[in-house]
Structure 1
Amino acid sequence: MKKLIVIVGPTAVGKTATGISLAKTFHGEVISGDSMQVYKGMDIGTAKVTKEEMDGVPHHLIDIRDPRESFSVADFQAQAKESIGEIHNRGKIPLIVGGTGLYINSVIYDYDFSSSEGDSDFREELEMYAKNYGNEALHEKLKMIDPISYGELHPNNVRRVIRALEVYHVTGKTIGDRPDQPETSPYDATVIGLTMEREKLYERIDLRVDRMIAEGLIEEAKHFYDQGIRNCQSVQAIGYKEIYAYFDGELTKEEAIELLKRNSRRYAKRQLTWFRNKMDITWFSMTTDQEKKLKEIHQFVEGKLF
């Protein structure tokens, strides 16, 4: 089977730098496992890797969508699989690096998004419900029956929300628990998780937000706001929705920044819960002596590749 290295973990834990370090050592190329870095121009708010940080390592699935377009887990899966094949054909090792768990798992286990039976009447009923009561109300229907999808899917991604509700309606199981999802991977996948003591991680998240503001996050968000880009999957992401609330007069600038920090911390907590429940991961704590931990990760990967 084709080798695949995967690096996951919460926001701000150090995935990007770790992935680049491994790619340089083991002749790899990086596939972004982040659902928001696909959007052009959304650089600061998504902590998108810069050309300087790439240090010559090719990166894929970055800047491939207009912010007005949607990008589903099925879209990600198809493009990531294509990139994996192309990277292997070049004699390189693919590394998926990111924090969007459902997207990454769909590739590792080759989820089948088309095989479940459908119920067109039920689907139309949900579409009408969303039109009458709004996307948020439809999204809330997921909360009790499928909290994982509820946390992963944005309310404005109506198609995917409806699909998750339809799968449960038809099969009695959530998308993640469906029996048609393979339990084995088509890849020889090594999944590495980076974690960190909570207090230090939250401190890093707060500092990252401060750095984003200093680097121009508000101006970046204003660019999309002035273009009338609203109610799109892209600008509902953490980092943009809070700033939009400031532009709309719902929050002061200071309140928006504090809310962004709080939402980022809560997202990191949800990420860790998801990874621990849904993926087979070898964890490395980056709380102290990160240089030593990086050497351990390199040794671990070397043992898996050779």
Structure 2
Amino acid sequence: MNKLLIISGPTATGKTKLALHFEEWSAAHFVKMARTEITNIWQRKKLPIVVGGTGLYIKNLLHPPTTLFISPDKKLRRQLEQLNMPQLQNKLRRMSPRRFSDMNESDQKNPRRLIRAIEVVKFAKLHQPSEGFANFRPAALHIGLTSSIKEIDRRIKNRIANRLKQGLKQEVKTLVKKYGWDSVLSTTIAYQEWYPYFENKVQLEKVIETWTIHEKQYARRQLTWFKKQPNIHWFDVTASDFPNNIVSLVKQWYYQQYAPRPKIYH
């Protein structure tokens, strides 16, 4: 069976840094491209390694929801956006009573979720189910990197200081000039915090303070999400021998025909 190694965890635990992209990106884009590249690596008889802290992307890579590859229908959405919530509810009920009843109460009252549900139902009626990556069933080993909140906060502080030394201020200035604040800069941690600074509304110290808070909040959300996911082998990155322990586990898993039970390694 084809094998796949996954390394994830909250921010500032030592994963490879991810680049900032200024084009629309989604879980569906990621899954399609990642599965294609992983398959290419398998064909070369190599072990693909997926590294990142966006847990939902990793979950969708292994177990994508049936709606993941249904692209937005912009024309339909413009039409549906003219309807109020009761009209959207009635439309979905007529199209698929089961789909409506399967939604929780909150989603049944959420126009955006109702529009997406109508979009999916319409697509399903017009298209045959796609095989997609039906044969993509890797034997995955999921490694999680973690530490105490205190240690993660310390690493966040150090990483922010390093990024400032590396010229982040000038980088943001250059990107804003090229793309403007209406790009993903306005919602991306480490970039969005600079807006009031360049508007001469706050000092650099305030940028750093706000940025630090956002990074810490994000790390805690990641920890909460990952704790709910099964089958992750957690390693404390403050343990002196944690790299060797990871290598040992990966070798066991890769060369033998069994899956070790998930545990926490201190």
Q: State whether TM-score is above 0.5.
A: yes
| Residues 261 and 164 of structure 1: CA distance in aligned 2, closer, same or farther (over 3 Å) | farther
**Which residue matches 1:274?**
225
Match for 1:87: what amino acid? Answer: I
**Which residue matches 1:222?**
173
User: 3-state DSSP class of the match of 1:278?
Assistant: coil
| Residues 165 and 273 of structure 1: CA distance in aligned 2, closer, same or farther (over 3 Å) | farther
Deviation at 1:162, TM superposition (A): 4.2
**Which residue matches 2:247?**
298
Q: Does 1:260 align with 2:215?
A: no
Distance 1:169 1:74 in 2: 16
User: 3-state DSSP class of the match of 1:84?
Assistant: helix
**Which residue matches 1:11?**
11
Within 5 Å, which residues of 2 pair with 1:1-306? 1-16=1-16, 34=18, 37=19, 39=21, 67=22, 69-112=23-66, 113-114=68-69, 124-126=79-81, 145=106, 162=112, 166-167=116-117, 186-289=137-240, 292-306=241-255
| Residues 223 and 281 of structure 1: CA distance in aligned 2, closer, same or farther (over 3 Å) | same
* Percent identity between the two aligned chains: 32
Which consecutive unaligned segments of at least 5 residues does structure 1 have?
Answer: 17-31, 40-66, 130-143, 147-160, 172-184
Distance 2:176 2:244 in 1: 43
Match for 1:15: what amino acid? Answer: K
Moved over 4 A (4+): 120-129, 161-165, 167-171
Deviation at 1:276, TM superposition (A): 1.4
Provide the aligned length of Structure 1 versus Structure 2. 219
| Residues 189 and 211 of structure 1: CA distance in aligned 2, closer, same or farther (over 3 Å) | same
Give yes or no for contact 1:110–1:186 (8 Å, CA) kept in 2. no
Give yes or no for contact 2:6–2:142 (8 Å, CA) kept in 1. yes
Deviation at 1:233, TM superposition (A): 2.6
Match for 1:2: what amino acid? Answer: N
Distance 1:204 1:215 in 2: 16
User: 3-state DSSP class of the match of 2:24?
Assistant: coil
Give yes or no for contact 1:243–1:256 (8 Å, CA) kept in 2. yes
TM-score by length of 2: 0.71
Which consecutive unaligned segments of at least 5 residues does structure 2 have?
Answer: 85-104, 122-135, 256-266
Deviation at 1:275, TM superposition (A): 1.2
Match for 1:211: what amino acid? Answer: N
RMSD (Å) for aligned C-alpha atoms = 3.4
Distance 2:185 2:41 in 1: 27
| Residues 299 and 124 of structure 1: CA distance in aligned 2, closer, same or farther (over 3 Å) | farther
Distance 2:60 2:235 in 1: 23
Distance 1:274 1:164 in 2: 25
Q: What's the CA shift string for 1:12-43, capped at 9, x where partnerless?
A: 10123xxxxxxxxxxxxxxx8x5xx252xxxx
Larger radius of gyration: 2
Deviation at 1:102, TM superposition (A): 1.1
Distance 1:240 1:5 in 2: 31
Match for 1:229: what amino acid? Answer: G
Distance 1:72 1:164 in 2: 20
